[in-house]
Structure 1
Amino acid sequence: MRIGLRRMRAALSLFKNMLRDRQVKVLKRDLKWLTEQLGPARDFDVFVSETLTPYRAKHPDWDEFEILEHDLKRTRNAGFATARAAAESERFRSLLLDCALWLLDGDWRNDTDALTQALRKRPARAFAQNELARRVRKVSKRARKLERLDGRKRHKLRIAAKKVRYGREFFATLCCERRKAGRKLGRALKELQGELGILNDIRVHLERAREFASAGKAAKMAFAIGCLTGREETSVSDVLTKALAAGKRLQKAA
């Protein structure tokens, strides 16, 4: 569901110059709301499955990790409950219906504004080439400054790279790129997004750890969280190096 939401929001971003009606603003607001309802479930699930469980397997005798695992799973289950409640809500049902009706016959299809109409009448291939090239240049430019970006700006860069990847998938049948150049560009974008994703997970895990610490958790749990986040922090330099290399490959491929 989160991936579907990301793809939908990416499509709205790609075509934003043609989508200026009030309906779009409401849809974007509700799509963002639903994404936020699913976030904690995903974050804690990744923390448990990809960080805590492997580390605990290496240290089976440390009861600190057993205590932490129990508490994190309880928090993850609360996140699942939040996501489930959102998916069972009236707001969710209304969102699905509103999206379907908007796609079929929304204001965007009937807008009489001359500029909007002209944009809609452009050949799809020309639009896709220009839009994707513009976004690739923007991602490439920001990737050059990767070392100077803080965690949240790196996350925004990751989202921008993801939107380009989604856009390339959306327009794949239009053959906007030469095959060999397209493969190189695709690999570079995927690598950049992957490394930035690891960096973002490390940032999110650190934030979650701070939440636990500020909630007055037991000393053993604080120790276990410190071990996990400290272990991840040591990998930041290597991951950042890989991300920078991916950014350079992207610049060559763009």
Structure 2
Amino acid sequence: RGFDLAAGLAPAARRPRKLHLDPSVTLDEAFATILRSCFLHLLQSRPAAEDGRNPEGVHQLRVSLRRLRSALDLMQSVGALSNLDALRSEAKWLAQELSAARDWDVFRLETLPTIAKACPAVAGFDALGRAAARGQSEAYRRAHHALDDRRCAVFLIGLGHWIETRGWRNDVAAEDLGQLAEPAVTFAQRILSEQYAKVLKRGRRFKSLTTLRLHKVRLATKRLRYLGEFLLPLYEDRKSTRRFSRRLADLQEELGAFNDMAVTASLLEGLDAEPGSAIAAAAIAG
């Protein structure tokens, strides 16, 4: 980070590191490892998001917050934890403040240039790009304001303290404490099976699903993927788990395309476009 600052380079936006969990690890130790991984990814992504020159910064910070929320949801399975709701609420707040910046990044850097290149006879893409740049700039101002907010700093410090002191031990009811000492692999099998069943249920009659229901399928699939990243390492590096993870990633990407369409339509509706960009906007909507 110091060398990047000295050289004037944009901070790197790193993807989360692959988890390594021993199959014999306890649930308590598994929770600590998973949460530390999420927290490290969050801290590593923040400088790039604050800098703003690399759009991957905001993207990875949002991914880190989704992973963190999935990990906190996972912990609810051992019983009511008094601090969980507050931590999940703050993670959700920060993710929402970043979401518009990511939406405009995708639209301006991926969607718009791809369709403009495919439709060279259509006029108005340049004007549409200028309007999108203004929306992107405003969204980044909102994101930077949230990252500079004292609320964000308090959230990160409190989260780090809770993880390092394993604060969930104090939150778990006395009758549920025994679960933390049990093998994590037993817990993993139940949780993964339940979430897998939920994805299948939400995906029934897939071709006839509305945009809202497709969004719910995507969220359930995304949660299953994060749970898989957290818990499948307990099954060691088996061929079947690697194949499952690849197929799940492919499915999530396909569902993400449906979501990008819905988001694009919303952005176009609220765009303060210049005269002459209407045909380009219609081409993108189409």
The TM-score by the shorter chain falls in which range? 0.7 to 0.9
* 3-state SS of 1:171 partner: helix
Whole-Å separation in 1 of the counterparts to 2:172 and 2:65 = 29
1:121-168 deviations in Å (ceiling 9; x for gaps): 321110011111111122122223322332222222212212222222
Which whole-Å deviations, capped at 9, do the CAs of 1:165-197 have from their partners, x for residues lacking one?
222222233117x82332332232112111100
Offset from partner CA, 1:221-242 (integer Å, 9 cap, x none): 3332111011xxxxxxxxxxxx
Residue of structure 2 equivalent to 1:9: 69
Q: Which amino acid aligns with 1:102?
A: W
One of 183, 201, 214 as aligned partner of 2:260: 201
- Whether contact under 8 Å (1:132, 1:167) holds in the other structure is yes
Pair 1:229-2:277 in alignment: no
Number of aligned positions between the proteins = 226
Structure 1 runs, 4 residues or longer, greater than 6 Å off:
none
Alpha-carbon shift at residue 92 of structure 1 (Å): 0.7
Matched, 1:47 2:103: no
> C-alpha separation between the residues in 2 aligned to 1:70 and 1:8?
35
Provide TM-score, normalisation by structure 2: 0.72
SS in 1 for 2:266: helix
Query: TM-score, normalised to structure 1's length?
Result: 0.81
Structure with more of its chain in helix, by fraction? 1
* CA contact 1:10–1:163 (8 Å) conserved in 2: yes
Cα distance in 1 between the residues matched to 2:134 and 2:201: 42
2 CA distance for matches of 1:174 and 1:180?
13
Rounded to whole Å, the distance in 2 between the matches of 1:112 and 1:227 is 54
Q: Secondary structure at the match of 2:277?
A: helix
Matching residue of 1:233? none
Partners of 1:59 and 1:141 lie apart in 2 by 39
How far, CA to CA, are the matches of 1:19 and 1:3 in structure 2?
26
8 A contact 2:232–2:241 mirrored in 1:
no
> 1:180 maps to what in 2?
239
Letter in 2 for 1:223: I
Equivalent in the alignment of 1:190: 249
Structure 1 residues 7-47: Cα deviation after superposition (integer angstroms, max 9, x where no partner): 10111112212362332111111111100111011101101
1:101-130 deviations in Å (ceiling 9; x for gaps): 121236421135234213323211100111
Q: In the alignment, which residue of structure 2 is the partner of 1:210?
A: 269
Moved more, 114-123 or 55-64: 55-64
Q: Which stretches in structure 1 are left out of the alignment for 5+ residues? A: 231-254
Q: One-letter code of the match for 1:194?
A: E
Q: CA deviation at 1:206?
A: 0.7
Q: What runs of 5+ residues in structure 2 fail to find an aligned partner?
A: 1-60
Q: In the superposition, relative to structure 1, how do residues 116 and 221 fare at CA in structure 2: closer, same or farther (>3 Å)?
A: farther
Letter in 1 for 2:267: R
